[in-house]
């Protein structure tokens, strides 16, 4: 557990988001010291049930992106619940939500009409699939669907496999990080203007913004990018290769690195071959180069080869599975695995700063765990809190999800 206040200490965030994009972003803020109050609906964040595996009834999917947050369960579909939210926003810097576009406005909580007037310094960040306007405006968006619609799947996989989803929800995760960037930009701008603003962050925009270098290649060449498996469309050799002890990935970005690779594998003649002298040559003749490298690498020890290449400044690495990565000495050294109360284990915060520290200040909370404390801090009396709980505005236990 970390006792450091963090770079964002003093920033108060009301997090109404669920699933992944918003929660991943708000966890990042919480990792660096922001006070994050996660407000869940009566049924709870649906990812609590996205398992197995489970711990004490809560799925790993939820546990993985909801540390460093306080937990409040509130029914915002009722006017009394929205009054509680407005009370919380009086002391907040940031509101994050990912409701279907138009929901906040339907509830009388639209940014321009209500929130900006009542809370002029509030930064309202909305995470959505496609935004509120345009041909796809207002439509729901999930990571894999947006991967498909954005062209991301079309460039992932092999010619034989066809379009393939990335193995992690990259669009959701990157959208969460874009939300963090937008929020912090707005915080900096507020120091000059004294005003908050609305931040519009979408899965679709994020996915299209990740299409480098394929989009750049298309704009320049006019050719539709295809699927090249593990290879790179602009660099060669930049691919996965078999060794005698497993697979490795070589990322050869320039002629000097190629020369060093060839020296270490005993193929010093390859850089002098007219087919392989320059990057453009190697790209044009990548199939022939792959054949030569596969022969040279098939008898090599993968780890020893990668260690030798790295020592020579040549990017190379073994293809590892998740358990091996989490046990790797460098992962541990970089504090990219963390632990907390009750056997909590997770990946660490990837942003390191020289003075301000990130860390696990609190493990993911049970549903509604901080209801009474949060409401008391907002000025509610014990009797008022009891009434909110008894009337179902604030919930100590999740409601059953409505049947379809």
CB 296 within 8 A of CB 266: yes
Q: What residues are annotated to the active site?
A: 172
DSSP string for 33-90: T-EEEEEE-TT--GGGGS-SSEETTEEHHHHTT--S-EEEEB-TTSHHHHHHHHHHHT
Burial of residue 297 (CB within 10 Å: 0-12, 13-18, 19+) is: buried
Residues 122-144 have pLDDT tens digits of 999 999 999 999 999 999 999 99
In the three-class reduction of DSSP (H, G, I as helix; E, B as strand; rest coil), residue 379 is classed as coil
Q: What is the mean pLDDT of the chain?
A: 95
Task: Point out the least confidently predicted range of 17-21, 205-209, 231-235, 394-398.
Answer: 231-235
Residue 3 clears pLDDT 50, i.e. is over it: no
- Residue of 28, 45, 72, 34 whose CA lies nearest to 376: 72
Residues 326-345 have pLDDT tens digits of 999 999 999 999 999 999 99
- % pLDDT > 70, the chain: 98
Q: What is the pLDDT of residue 2?
A: 46
Length of the chain measured in residues: 404
Q: What is the pLDDT of residue 204?
A: 97
Q: What is the pLDDT of residue 400?
A: 80
| Average pLDDT estimate for 38-54 | 96
Residue 114 clears pLDDT 50, i.e. is over it: yes
Residues 68-92 have pLDDT tens digits of 999 999 999 999 999 999 999 999 9
Q: SS3 letters for 244-272?
A: CCEEEEEECCCHHHHHHHHHHCCCCCHHH
pLDDT band at 1 (very low <50, low <70, confident <90, very high): very low
Q: What is the pLDDT of residue 305?
A: 96
pLDDT band at 208 (very low <50, low <70, confident <90, very high): very high
Q: What is the pLDDT of residue 5?
A: 80
Residue 320 clears pLDDT 70, i.e. is over it: yes
Which whole-number Å values give the CA distances from 115 to 121, 124, 125, 133, 196, in the listed order?
Answer: 10, 8, 12, 20, 10
How far is residue 390's CA from residue 30's CA, in Å, rounded to a whole number? 31
How far is residue 277's CA from residue 154's CA, in Å, rounded to a whole number? 31
| Average pLDDT estimate for 177-198 | 98
Global pTM value? 0.92
Residue 404 clears pLDDT 80, i.e. is over it: no
| Average pLDDT estimate for 247-253 | 96
Quick one: angle between helices 21-31 and 170-193, nearest 10?
50
- Residue of 168, 194, 25, 175 whose CA lies nearest to 95: 25
Tokens of 318: 């073994």
Q: What is the pLDDT of residue 401?
A: 64
Greater confidence (254 vs 404) lies with 254
Give the domains, in start order, of the chain with CATH numbers. Answer: 12-210+353-390 (3.40.50.10540), 238-327 (3.30.1540.10)
């Amino acid at each position: 557990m970390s006792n450091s206040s963090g770079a964002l200490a003093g920033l108060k965030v009301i997090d109404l988001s669920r699933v992944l994009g918003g929660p991943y972003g708000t966890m990042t803020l919480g990792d660096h010291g922001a006070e994050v109050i996660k407000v869940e609906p009566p049924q709870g964040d649906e990812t609590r049930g996205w398992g197995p595996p489970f711990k004490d009834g809560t799925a790993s999917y939820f546990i993985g992106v909801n540390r460093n947050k306080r937990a409040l369960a509130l029914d915002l579909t009722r006017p009394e619940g929205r009054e509680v939210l407005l009370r919380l926003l009086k002391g907040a810097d940031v509101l994050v939500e990912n409701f279907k576009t138009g929901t906040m406005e339907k509830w009388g909580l639209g940014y321009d009409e209500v929130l900006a007037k009542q809370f002029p310094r509030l930064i309202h960040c909305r995470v959505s699939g496609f935004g509120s306007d345009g041909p796809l405006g207002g439509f729901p968006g999930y990571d894999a669907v947006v991967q498909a619609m954005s062209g991301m799947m079309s460039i992932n996989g092999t010619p034989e496999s066809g379009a393939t989803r990335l193995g992690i929800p990259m669009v959701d995760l990157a959208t969460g990080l874009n939300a963090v960037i937008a929020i912090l930009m707005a915080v900096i701008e507020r120091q000059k203007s004294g005003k908050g603003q609305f931040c519009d962050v979408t899965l679709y925009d994020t996915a299209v913004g990740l299409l480098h270098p394929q989009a750049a290649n298309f704009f320049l060449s006019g050719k539709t990018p295809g699927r090249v498996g593990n290879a790179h469309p602009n660099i060669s050799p930049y691919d996965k290769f078999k060794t005698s002890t497993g697979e490795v990935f070589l990322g050869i970005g320039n002629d000097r690195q190629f020369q060093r690779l060839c020296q270490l594998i005993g193929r010093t003649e390859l850089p002098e071959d007219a087919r392989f002298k320059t990057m453009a040559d190697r790209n044009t003749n990548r199939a022939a180069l792959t054949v030569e490298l596969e022969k040279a690498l098939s008898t090599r020890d993968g780890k020893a080869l990668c260690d030798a290449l790295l020592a020579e400044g040549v990017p190379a690495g073994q293809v590892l599975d998740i358990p091996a990565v989490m046990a790797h000495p460098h992962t541990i050294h970089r504090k990219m695995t963390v632990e907390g109360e009750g056997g909590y284990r997770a990946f660490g915060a990837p942003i390191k700063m020289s003075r301000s520290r990130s860390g696990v200040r609190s493990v993911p909370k049970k549903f509604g765990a901080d209801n009474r404390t949060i409401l008391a801090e907002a000025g509610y009396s014990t009797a008022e809190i009891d009434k909110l709980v008894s009337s179902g505005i604030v919930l100590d236990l999740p409601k059953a999800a409505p049947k379809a």
